[in-house]
Amino acid sequence: MAERHIVHVDMDAFFAAVEQRDDPSLRGRPVIIGADPRGGRGRGVVSTCSYEARKFGVRSAMPISEAWRRCPGGVYLRPDSRKYSRASSVIEKAFHEFTPDVEMVSVDEAFLDVTLSAHLFGGPEQTCRRLKRRVKELTGLTCSVGLAPTKMCAKIASDLRKPDGFVTVPPGGEAAFLAPLDISKLWGLGPKTAAALRARGLNTIGELAACPEGSLAFLGRNGAELKALAGGVDPSPVSPEGEAKSVSNEITFDSDTGDEREIRESLVALCDKVSSRLRAAGQKGRTVGLKIRLEGFVTYTRARTVLLATNYADVIWKEVSGLYAAFPRGRRKVRLLGVRVSGLMPASERESLFEEEGDERRERSHRAVEEIRRRFGRSSIYRAGGKKEL
């Protein structure tokens, strides 16, 4: 799998920072955004607060009455969602200056995949530094950034040196980066699971990664996934425009299978069906994803971003087959397979002045297949290596 460069951007105390930017008299003062405290009798919670307020122990999601007790001299403001949304739109546009692969998690947080674009800006680290400067230039606001080969490591890195921080996790250094951190930092680890792990003497991510897999049997199917995450394994893709803007198909086998021919036939058919749906919708996409659920219901995803968006079945198959070949399944059987194409755009949109070699031939071939299916049904023709129907 090619080396990835994932960026997590977290705007620093976003709501409070916007208020301080727009009202200079608030700068340097503890600003708390949320419900009306009503002199310590208010109901509701803190939405966010400035770093000056955090010195008093005020935190997001804290009851507003508790925030008042800790910081009665603070400036309490109700949220202005329209103002924050306008600032967020400007920030998102800045992200798209560096890559089309932007996943907005919320108004003040995003993941960016700069794997294919970083060379245009001097490399991954220089891209991050330029991105931070650009956001400050356009909005007057600071952000904290994490750069890593995985989404989880990038997010954790962005939290370590706030505000206005920048932390890099080098390729291959994911496990070493995570090892000394408290297990509470791990994705998908709830309070009850964390308590159960601590009761067994597992307090750091490194200790969890090093423990024998059999000792995590009490966690059920989640044990193997948590151990893999603790070791720095996180294939989660950056999903531009959100997961809703994608086309996917899945197949669940009647019984778990290790038959490579059956697996290959199913993947070819899935690629063909996703291609047909994309073309029928007049769309193409830049990120091709593979989903594999193994016996025991453990699920993995893999994704790869192509240079030019596509809706051609053979291009999708090439990427999917490469992702599958690189997946260390071993002797474990497969229960479910899925193929997804995301990062969608209109099929008519040109990304290059030059047509990709072979595109004209591919287009004629796809149109011929579509015409045959239109006239005689989908099962009248199928691609070599694929099942007749799915």
In the block, tokens 């001097």 appear at 122
329: left (phi > 0), else alpha (psi -120 to 50), else beta?
Answer: alpha
pLDDT in tens, 294-352: 876 678 889 888 878 889 999 999 999 999 999 988 888 998 999 999 888 887 766 54
Predicted local confidence at residue 232, as pLDDT: 92
Which ranges of the chain does DSSP label H, i.e. alpha helix?
14-22, 51-54, 64-70, 81-96, 124-139, 151-158, 174-178, 191-199, 205-210, 222-230, 260-280, 313-325, 359-376
Predicted local confidence at residue 52, as pLDDT: 97
Predicted local confidence at residue 281, as pLDDT: 78
CA distances from 325 to 257, 282, 322, 368 (A): 16, 30, 5, 30
Cite the residue boundaries of each domain of the chain with CATH code 3.30.1490.100.
Answer: 246-380
Q: What is the CATH number of domain 176-230?
A: 1.10.150.20
Residue 65 has pLDDT above 80, yes or no: yes
Q: Which CATH class is domain 14-81?
A: alpha beta
Q: What is the CATH number of domain 246-380?
A: 3.30.1490.100
Architecture of domain 6-12+97-174: 2-Layer Sandwich (3.30)
Cite the residue boundaries of each domain of the chain with CATH code 3.40.1170.60.
Answer: 14-81
Quickly state the pLDDT bin for 158 (edges 50, 70, 90): very high
Q: What is the pTM of this model?
A: 0.63
Cite the residue boundaries of each domain of the chain with CATH code 3.30.70.270.
Answer: 6-12+97-174
How does DSSP classify residue 232?
A: T
Question: In whole angstroms, what separates CA 60 from the centre of its chain?
Answer: 23
Strand order in the sheet with 166-168: 102-106, 109-113, 6-11, 143-148, 166-168
Residues assigned a catalytic role: 109
- 369: tokens are 């297949």
Strand 283-294 to 246-257 pairing: unpaired
